[in-house]
Amino acid sequence: MKKALIFAIVLMAFLSASAQHSKLLDKTQFGLRFAPLLSFTKVDAESYAYPDAKSTGTGIRWSAGIIADYQLLKKLLPVYLSTGIWYSTRAANAIPGENYNGLYSKGRYNLSYVQIPLSAKILLYKINRTTWFYVQPGITFDIKVSEKPRDADYNYFYLLTTGFTQESLGKNVYKNFNLGSYLGAGIEKTLDGNTKIFGSISWSAGSLQILNNIQDKKDNGELVYVNKDLRVRTAQLAFEVGIKF
């Protein structure tokens, strides 16, 4: 994954150097972005199945990658179509409580995603000659690249996929794709020429249930899908900084 990110950064630098030869790229600025973030987990469960299910709290994670801002409007209100490629980590801190077999267990996971954001960066207010306040609504396409259990010996989801139930053996606990909403607000400042720095606060939330179709077995031997009675979603509050050139 790190090699892919390095390749993407090198590719971005090449495209940026070639921008003067393309009308499309003439209106595009490339940059780098880093964001420490707070990762939240929302857990919803049917009380008859998982009466004690809950989130175990907030995780501290990070996100980094490249960005590209293409200028759509300039005269009336500066508006950019913003996209990029980000590598993002997040916590899935769901505890199922008492499952069908009467076992109390943990369920925390570390997840990693490649994100492709698509948003409108709207420069709303000119603070001074070189500084703008902006808002940035949009969506993200999230592709999972890894999942790692924490507390593996007591992790309910991990145990289901490693032999506790034959039906779920070898399956991923979390789905490979998510679709998220994104909303940010920040400050962008021009330093010299085309070089700009920015800082913002953003909120993003996954809109899909991310638990996979893994199965558990009731005391009577009946197989049930865990994600029908237990729903897990994630959200992030990020503090973004970056540079464009």
- Residues 28-87 pLDDT 10s: 999 999 999 999 999 999 988 888 888 988 999 999 999 999 999 887 889 999 999 999
Count of the separate structural domains present in the chain = 1
Of 151, 162, 152, the residue nearest 214 (C-alpha): 162
Alpha carbon 22 to its chain centroid, in Å, reads 32
Does 160 map to a domain?
A: no
Specify the CATH number for the domain of residue 233. 2.40.160.20
Kindly tell me if the per-residue pLDDT of 103 is higher than 70: no
Does 48 map to a domain?
A: no
> What is the domain extent for residue 76?
2-43+55-95+107-155+171-210+226-244
Does 216 map to a domain?
A: no
Does 101 map to a domain?
A: no
CA dihedral 53, 59, 64, 69 (to 10 degrees): 70
Checking phi first, is residue 193 left (phi over 0); if not, alpha (psi -120 to 50) or beta? Answer: left
> Quick one: 167 exposed, middle or buried, by C-beta within 10 A (0-12, 13-18, 19+)?
middle
DSSP code for 219? T
Residue of 80 and 16 predicted with greater confidence? 80
What pTM value is reported for the model?
Answer: 0.86
The count of other CB atoms within 10 Å of the CB of residue 208 is 14
117-163 pLDDT tens trace: 999 999 999 999 999 999 999 999 999 999 999 988 888 899 889 87
Mean residue pLDDT of the chain comes to 88
Rg (CA), the chain: 21
Cα–Cα dist 130/74, whole Å? 15
